[in-house]
Structure formats: C-alpha cells, structure tokens
A = this chain, B = another copy of it.
Amino acid sequence: MRVSVFRKEHFNAAHRLWNSKWSDEKNVEVFGKCCNPNYHGHNYDLVVQVTGEIDPETGYVIDMKILSKIIREQILRRFDHKNLNADTEEFRQLNPTAENIVVVIYNILRPLLDDRLELKIKLYETERNYAEYPA
C-alpha cells in the first residue's frame, strides 16, 4: 500500500548554459540566447515526490513539515537568489540545464531520506519546460 506525497517549493536563480570545452561560436550555436554571458534567470518550481508506506500512527508517508524543512535547508539555501554558475559548487563545472539540476537535487536529498522511501524530483524551469528524475 505505497503512497506518493509531493511537496512543491520555489526558488529564483540566474544561470547561463555553457560548455567551457567549446569555443564561443559552438556555445552560441548550441545554446543560443541561453548562453548570454551576463546570464538570465528563472523562477524555478521544485516538486519533491516521496513514496513509501503510510505510517499507521501518523497517517503520513513522511511529515511534510520535516520534508519542507529539509528542502529549504538543503536546496533553497543553496540555490535561492543565487547565480547557479558563479555562486554554487555544484554548477561551477556542470552545465545548469534543468536535466542536470534535477539530478543534482536528487543526489543531495537521497542520502537524507530513509532507505525505504523512494525519491523523485521534478523541476519547472518555466511553465513550458521541465524535467524529472529518475524517469
């Protein structure tokens, strides 16, 4: 009787898409306006999905207050109102595409949750572009 619960949080960040091993021309050709040297930015909507058995004492899969606190301390404090490329260790070398961001967030949160719980991360870069991991 496994149930998924979902918690949606929000952060704002600047980023640019960039492969430092490529020439400027190649970067512009592949990433277009997304590689603007002075960055652009997004309101990121983050949905953290946790799946497990319902605890019969609480009726919870996981206490959403605790889950929300973990997300705020581990993810929002790290990325909110930051420049992903310039201000964070995670994306100094790694291109901050939505795909890479969901994997990074998964890897930060996974060790902090009980092993019996499954984790899935969905990130809306805009209303029209989003990514999910694991697929």
Contacts and interface: CB of A to CB of B under 8 A. Distances in A.
B97 A129 contact: no
Contacts of A94: 59
The A interface, classified by DSSP as helix, strand, loop or mixed, is: mixed
A55 to B, nearest CB: 9
Interface extent on A, as a size class?
A: 35 or more
Nearest to A17: B59
Contacts of A86: 38
A7 interface: yes
Contacts of A135: 2-4, 51, 118
Q: Which 4 A-B pairs have the closest CB atoms?
A: A41-B41, A38-B83, A59-B95, A59-B97
